[in-house]
Structure 1
Amino acid sequence: MIGLDTSIDAETRVASSELIHPREQEASYRAYLFGPFRVLHDQEVVGQRGHRREKALLLLKWFLLNPGRPCSIDELIDLGWPQATREKATGSIHVAMHCLRRMLEPDLPPGHDSSFVHRSGNTFYRFEAGQEWWTDADEVVRLFDRARASDRQGDSRRACFYYGRVTAYPLHRFFEGEEALEPRLAPYRTRYETLHSQSLVRLIRLHRDRGELEECLEYAYRMLTVNPYNELAATVIAEAHITHGGSAHARQRLCTFLQSCVRRLGNGNRTDVLALCERAVREASSAPEPRRPN
């Protein structure tokens, strides 16, 4: 999909060997936030149905999004017990925390502190994941950072590899089905959607600069499924059709599509798009009429 051929160089082989980070296989705890939320301890699923366990998993989701950050009692009350009195909500939090500790470490001796859930005074909790944890959300950020570093160094092949790995994750399915958490999840969802879009943009540009038309168009079409009015993707597709042939009718449809983008989003500084529309019209009008069958 990324267009790596049989002449792949040694450096790219190194990148390919990192397709699956060793920590995903070696970590004792693996959490998946894209798609249905699930946590595995070794090979066993953590948490089963039940009111207490659901509240404990709710806390775990929030902790995984905010590792190491102290979370106040008030914040946790707003998260899971907004309608309860403070006294009742505080008691419920303590019960859910106890359940969470037991879910994550069922063999934890009574009276021993959790390895992950820590309490500061009477008002703050924090979650320290450490090296025992791997999450797909952290992996996406790691891959994107690798992609940007390679991009800055001018290593376009390696950058394409890492950007491609970012877009391989179903980032649009972040905490799929978690309607109750929607308002609080919005900033996190926006962050991952932004990483996805930025990766697609760089993949389009890098593959275009490398003369890899097939890969460039693949990511351009994928961008349009995310943002139907993305100027870069629409321009790349139209340019490819105009340059590499296609019927006059197809070029006219592309021109109409580009013009609709401009009408919807405003003219602004989209002079390149308008120029491409005019070029499409000229070439469509000058194309020979197809022969009609006798």
Structure 2
Amino acid sequence: MNAEHTGHGTQAGPPLLRLHLFGGFRVTRDGGPPLADKWPRPSARALVKLLAVSPGHSLHREQAMEICWPDSDAQAALGSLRVALHAARRAIEPELAARASSSYLTGEGTLLRLDPRTVVIDADQAETLAEEALAEGSAEALAAALAAFTGELLPEDRYAPWAEARREQLSALCDRVRIALAEAHLADGETELATEVALRAVAAAPAEERAHRVLIDAFLRQGLRRQAVRQYHLCREALDAELGVRPGPPPSSCIFLPWTRPRRCCPPSPLPCFRPRYAPRPVRRCAAAPTSSMCCCPTTVRRYGSSRARPGWARPG
């Protein structure tokens, strides 16, 4: 690409353009004239962000028109795309000469693309570091990769459908790096560091069983058996609430925990013996009652009341 074609005079090459997506959208350059903080058109800013999160950082013109201007007809959307494309090129490359091709945002036929030779995106760098650190497995590499995830991806576009897939992909990758870092600290004997990192992993993904297992093992190594038991129950509740499943068997070092200890069969306790508060008094009968036609025993008289209520053998003849 010669100097006349790029519009940079005798400059050997354009400075690197850096797109920052974590913690909010920002654009910086390694050299050249300073860039304006405020873009002239919001549609130009949205177009660059859309290309930054798209696979391969390229997009068909019709796709960009459907995403950015869904309610406009084809002719109006095409005009809006041309205006936004011109404004975006001027915003990221103020020194661009008239009718010159942009060094960062190119249009090859019907395809819009961010040039990977001149554009650097922080999300791509974090993804590359994370994949390399996961392959290496060392705590130093994993910690450096985790530090590259400096915030949420485009928080100002949290509910934009076009950024959802890339946000979920990077979030899942960040969780993998965080859990791997906790496991690496635990393998190195750094139980406190492993606990700290695993707690952040559980806060970000409560149903992540690997993070709970790291915490349980770290608590057991520190002699905190009660916290290990509590963490297991938290893991079981989170998995049941979010996924409807139970956690796997505990590691061999947890065989003495209550959830794996066999239950002791206890004999049933005897029922309590209830005694009435007032026991009925026994009825005393006169010895002459069965043979005599008249009973003069005062106990029998008090028992049956009047002569009408007495039995036949107790009534007077």
Structure 1 residues 27 and 135, CA, compared in 2 at 3 Å: closer, same or farther?
A: farther
1:79-90 pair list within 5 angstroms:
79-90=67-78
Name the structure 2 match of 1:148: 134
State the SS of the aligned residue for 1:134. strand
1:67/1:126 contact within 8 Å kept? no
Query: Equivalents in 2 of 1:76, 1:279: separation in Å?
Result: 57
Q: 2:103 aligns with which of 107, 110, 115?
A: 115
Name the structure 1 match of 2:112: 125
Between the aligned residues of both structures, percent identity stands at: 24
1:242/1:280 contact within 8 Å kept? no
Deviation of the 1:162 alpha carbon: 2.4
1:48 equivalent to 2:38? Answer yes
1:56/1:96 contact within 8 Å kept? yes
Count of residue pairs the alignment pairs up: 246
AA of the residue aligned to 1:135: I
Q: 1:254 aligns with which of 224, 231, 240?
A: 231
Query: Equivalents in 2 of 1:262, 1:63: separation in Å?
Result: 37
Larger helix percent: 1
1:171/1:193 contact within 8 Å kept? no
Name the structure 1 match of 2:84: 96
Name the structure 1 match of 2:198: 220
1:197/1:223 contact within 8 Å kept? yes
Which has the bigger relative contact order, CA under 8 A and spacing at least 6?
Answer: 1
AA of the residue aligned to 1:73: R
Q: Relative to structure 2, which stretch is displaced further, 165-174 or 273-282?
A: 273-282
1:31/1:134 contact within 8 Å kept? yes
Structure 1 residues 70 and 162, CA, compared in 2 at 3 Å: closer, same or farther?
A: same
State the SS of the aligned residue for 1:187. helix
Q: Name structure 1 gaps, 5 residues minimum.
A: 1-25, 284-294
AA of the residue aligned to 2:69: W
What TM-score does the superposition give when structure 1 sets the normalisation length?
Answer: 0.72
Structure 1 residues 242 and 106, CA, compared in 2 at 3 Å: closer, same or farther?
A: closer
Deviation of the 1:42 alpha carbon: 4.1
Q: 1:135 aligns with which of 121, 125, 141?
A: 121
Query: Equivalents in 2 of 1:252, 1:69: separation in Å?
Result: 47
- Bigger CA radius of gyration: 2
What TM-score does the superposition give when structure 2 sets the normalisation length?
Answer: 0.67
1:235 equivalent to 2:223? Answer no
Deviation of the 1:59 alpha carbon: 1.0
1:1-294 pair list within 5 angstroms:
28-42=16-30, 44-50=34-40, 53-66=41-54, 70-121=58-109, 123-130=110-117, 132-151=118-137, 156=138, 160-170=139-149, 173-179=152-158, 182-246=160-224, 248=226, 250=227, 252-264=229-241, 265-267=243-245, 270-272=248-250, 276=254, 279-280=257-258
State the SS of the aligned residue for 2:19. strand
Structure 1 residues 62 and 228, CA, compared in 2 at 3 Å: closer, same or farther?
A: same
Name the structure 2 match of 1:8: none
Give CA deviations for 1:92-143 in whole Å, capped at 9, x if unaligned: 111111111111222222122112222233x33222141x333211210221
State the SS of the aligned residue for 2:155. coil
Name the structure 2 match of 1:19: none
Across the aligned residues of Structure 1 and Structure 2, the Cα RMSD in angstroms comes to 3.1
